[in-house]
Structure 1
């Protein structure tokens, strides 16, 4: 069960963010920020079903108060670009009963964070629309045994080969900084995701649910699939109402491509296994057929037609004609396809399947490239839209000369200003990569969106071709002896009920005929066998 939304971000002062504001948003409480002397409050309390703060043993009890905790955490940070808190947003499996949500998050936070010395402030949001999720806010500094904030890093002097300090030309000692804790190590992101997967799956198992989370990427899972694009709550709500969106259409095209590619790969894998079995048993097959040369695929299909004709010996004339015409039409279509593709032998069929696999890989690369470019364009268009929509608000903000009036205006228009400034930062960071022309980007996106259905059409054509080859395999299997049918079956695939019954019936019939023959023509006695009559 994919549960991909697992987002980790840092609350940074350089981005005009506040740990107190983040705590106020996720908890629904009114908090006062001592840093900027402003009250923080967001009116969406109806969706907040649980809030809680988890303290390690050496944390001051006062930090169980949300306002005290986050003002203290911010007061310890003196720099303009300080990292104030680590923020998680995690989707909770809706297969679990709601009363388990808080227990699950509490268990996860204690195991992954509080046991390492972090303070965890979490809240569970659930509007009842099938999207329960948790917000977790973590402290960035460790606490000493008396509950005081420790430095994030310490100075370490570099030493030479003799263990002596190294003096620089300036007269200072060469040194570097080392983190006092490893909480910022990049490897933690993967460990925390794995920890959430394991914890959630443990609760799903305890609840008797068969679903399981897998937060690994498709690449980590060894799956040759193209990931879909995260839609976000606004787009998800529109899609649920039946309103088609660009992101929704993109994901539908990606899912179609993934389904087609998976179908083709499975059929090619099965055909490859079947061909491998034919090659291994080639000598035995030639002996059974009484041939010195490998028969061509058209010759084998001709034998299939003869076999089918013999099976209809006791049918009515009308039934024979109808069956013969039906078989002829199907086999003729396959023969036309084999002739068109230049496939006449087992070897040429093997080579064609390699060609099919290469084509699927090429189409997948094209789809992946198109999907990535569309995501880049969508991000750019979103920033262009925010820039245009909120430019006048920013101009009005910039024109205000009085400090208090300016701060009051910023509080009233925080979302608009943040979106506008984020757009400005994005344009500066990517100005050399692409032009920010809405018309050109819209036109490019329409063209790219039109390419995905074309690629899916190509995959459907390949799928139809491979299905014909799968039919050819099934027809040829009819002319193989039963033991050879078993030997050339797809590796790892159980025979169908029809195949299994057919093989068993053929085997019993042949064994019974052999016993009847022996009873009718007993072998002559040699004088060495014991006399069983006495």
Structure 2
């Protein structure tokens, strides 16, 4: 089932970021950064399926064009402050159930909608998980789009060249937006998340897939905890450990031996996130089961309702004499009986389920290690 991810962040000089560097990395290309006098080369980056510049409809209709390098160098040149926001990124999850072409169309439609809404230019890069990432534990269904937007609106000058002018409305401060009779930026971001929900659901509905929901898990009544943010230091420690384990496994293979890669987290945050993920999978499974129970009950009501209708339509109309002499038959059916709501699992029950699942997992891992140890002893004897 597709999941909902639509988050935004600003690319800011105050954080040491560059619009040109960000675009180079997301598109997997080499770009010259004129402001900083350096070249960013990510042309060897794997996992980039496509990257397109998307103009507002009015500019596209006027046959305007701009290269990626020119666009993001203009975005940098348009800002004078040392802490300026030079780009805005929207990250959206692309449903794995869709084809590659449908995912691309979906991402481009969302980018075009926002480009027209704010008058900004989008740079839409679609990524797929690489085999290296999958080997590290990444989900192979993690197709997503990084969409960079200029923070300023785009227009044509007298030479029919694209220029960046005023800040887009989504980039204005809450005070400025209030003076213009606009809602807070947080409301704007919520609106954009709902736009993504609508666009994605239209495409999912075309293929009879389950729809996504922009509301938080709490708003949906689902007890799922968010992952903790690892941070750059902890993330690097996790990656470094996995790289070391891979090298050990490769070295052992060259020597004709087998090395079991240690996949346990290297940091406390990694351990906590692993526990949260396991718990969330259990809770989500419970929620799906509860929903299925309610859906089955609803289906039963509809089915029984149809049966009652069919019976009623099959009874011939009674005469006046009979209707007076006979008592009125009871109309109570199974459909009138109240549905028993499934009991929500308690935290204690979830904890026990987690402990049981962890126990089974550990047992299987130990059994596998014992089998491999026995095979290794046989090889040494041979």
Structure 1-normalised TM-score?
A: 0.41
Aligned to 2:263: 243
Aligned to 1:149, what secondary structure does the other structure show? Answer: strand
Cα-to-partner distance string for 1:401-440 (whole Å, 9 max, x where unaligned): xxxxxxxxxxxxxxxxxxxxxxxxxxxxxxxxxxxxxxxx
Pairing of 1:413-492 with structure 2 (within 5 A): 453=351
Aligned to 2:219: 220
Please state if 1:205 is matched with 2:205: yes
Pairing of 1:30-429 with structure 2 (within 5 A): 30-56=30-56, 57-58=58-59, 64-127=66-129, 129-144=140-155, 146=157, 147-152=162-167, 185-206=185-206, 208-221=207-220, 223-229=221-227, 243-245=263-265, 246=271, 247-256=273-282, 360=346, 363=347
Please tell me whether Structure 1 or Structure 2 has the larger radius of gyration of its CA atoms: 1
CA pair 242-213 structure 1, distance change in 2 beyond 3 A: farther
Report if aligned partners of 1:112, 1:195 keep a CA contact under 8 Å in 2.
Answer: no
Report if aligned partners of 1:62, 1:68 keep a CA contact under 8 Å in 2.
Answer: no
CA pair 260-48 structure 1, distance change in 2 beyond 3 A: closer
Unaligned ranges ≥5, structure 2: 131-139, 170-174, 243-260, 266-270, 294-342, 356-382
User: Displacement, 1:209?
Assistant: 3.4
Aligned to 1:52, what secondary structure does the other structure show? Answer: strand
- For 2:209 and 2:63, how far apart are their aligned partners in 1? 41
CA pair 61-77 structure 1, distance change in 2 beyond 3 A: farther
- For 2:27 and 2:156, how far apart are their aligned partners in 1? 28
- For 1:197 and 1:122, how far apart are their aligned partners in 2? 18
Aligned to 2:137: none
Structure 2-normalised TM-score?
A: 0.56
CA pair 184-23 structure 1, distance change in 2 beyond 3 A: farther
Aligned to 1:220, what secondary structure does the other structure show? Answer: coil
Report if aligned partners of 2:18, 2:86 keep a CA contact under 8 Å in 1.
Answer: yes
Aligned to 1:68, what secondary structure does the other structure show? Answer: helix
Report if aligned partners of 2:2, 2:97 keep a CA contact under 8 Å in 1.
Answer: no
Report if aligned partners of 1:49, 1:126 keep a CA contact under 8 Å in 2.
Answer: yes
Cα-to-partner distance string for 1:469-492 (whole Å, 9 max, x where unaligned): xxxxxxxxxxxxxxxxxxxxxxxx
CA pair 21-265 structure 1, distance change in 2 beyond 3 A: closer
User: Displacement, 1:61?
Assistant: 6.5
CA pair 52-244 structure 1, distance change in 2 beyond 3 A: same
Cα-to-partner distance string for 1:322-381 (whole Å, 9 max, x where unaligned): xxxxxxxxxxxxxxxxxxxxxxxxxxxxxxxxxx99x94xx58xx9xxxxxxxxxxxxxx
CA pair 230-122 structure 1, distance change in 2 beyond 3 A: farther
Aligned to 1:111, what secondary structure does the other structure show? Answer: helix
User: Displacement, 1:15?
Assistant: 0.7
User: Displacement, 1:189?
Assistant: 1.6
- For 2:59 and 2:33, how far apart are their aligned partners in 1? 25
Aligned to 1:87, what secondary structure does the other structure show? Answer: strand
- For 2:104 and 2:33, how far apart are their aligned partners in 1? 27
What is the root-mean-square deviation in Å for CA atoms of aligned residues? 4.2
- For 1:218 and 1:66, how far apart are their aligned partners in 2? 37
Report if aligned partners of 1:62, 1:69 keep a CA contact under 8 Å in 2.
Answer: no
CA pair 180-454 structure 1, distance change in 2 beyond 3 A: same
Report if aligned partners of 1:54, 1:114 keep a CA contact under 8 Å in 2.
Answer: no
Aligned to 1:172: none
CA pair 183-134 structure 1, distance change in 2 beyond 3 A: farther
CA pair 253-242 structure 1, distance change in 2 beyond 3 A: farther
Higher strand share: 2
Report if aligned partners of 1:152, 1:180 keep a CA contact under 8 Å in 2.
Answer: no
* More displaced 10-residue stretch of structure 1: 119-128 or 32-41: 119-128
User: Displacement, 1:89?
Assistant: 1.9
User: Displacement, 1:92?
Assistant: 0.7
- For 1:114 and 1:37, how far apart are their aligned partners in 2? 32
Cα-to-partner distance string for 1:273-314 (whole Å, 9 max, x where unaligned): xxxxxxxxxxxxxxxxxxxxxxxxxxxxxxxxxxxxxxxxxx
CA pair 193-244 structure 1, distance change in 2 beyond 3 A: farther
Unaligned ranges ≥5, structure 1: 155-175, 268-355, 368-451, 458-534
- For 1:231 and 1:70, how far apart are their aligned partners in 2? 29
CA pair 26-181 structure 1, distance change in 2 beyond 3 A: farther
- For 1:183 and 1:102, how far apart are their aligned partners in 2? 31
CA pair 204-453 structure 1, distance change in 2 beyond 3 A: closer
- For 1:202 and 1:102, how far apart are their aligned partners in 2? 14
CA pair 262-61 structure 1, distance change in 2 beyond 3 A: closer
User: Displacement, 1:25?
Assistant: 0.5
- For 2:76 and 2:291, how far apart are their aligned partners in 1? 55
User: Displacement, 1:11?
Assistant: 0.2
User: Displacement, 1:109?
Assistant: 1.2
CA pair 248-220 structure 1, distance change in 2 beyond 3 A: same
Higher helix share: 1
